[in-house]
């Protein structure tokens, strides 16, 4: 995963991609805790 991030960062224009990929797993975690673990079992 670190290698992928480095490759995207190296591109420069692809900086938008890693930024979207990193926070992507964070919101679901909040939703899981806010709603219920059954909503997002894939995160576990």
Question: Average pLDDT of the chain?
Answer: 56
Q: State the residue for tokens 């909040």.
A: 30
Torsion of CA 28, 31, 35, 39, to 10 degrees: -10
**Inside any domain, residue 41:** no
**Inside any domain, residue 44:** no
| Domain count of the fold of the chain | 1
Low-confidence residues in the chain, pLDDT < 70: 1-44
**Inside any domain, residue 12:** yes
Q: Is the entire prediction scored with pTM above 0.85?
A: no
The per-residue pLDDT for 5 is 55
**Inside any domain, residue 13:** yes
Q: Which domain holds residue 30?
A: 2-34
The per-residue pLDDT for 17 is 54
The per-residue pLDDT for 43 is 56
């Amino acid at each position: 995963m670190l290698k992928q991030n480095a490759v995207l960062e190296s591109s420069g224009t692809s900086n938008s991609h890693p930024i979207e990929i990193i926070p992507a797993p964070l919101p679901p975690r909040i939703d899981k805790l806010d709603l219920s673990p059954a909503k997002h079992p894939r995160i576990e």
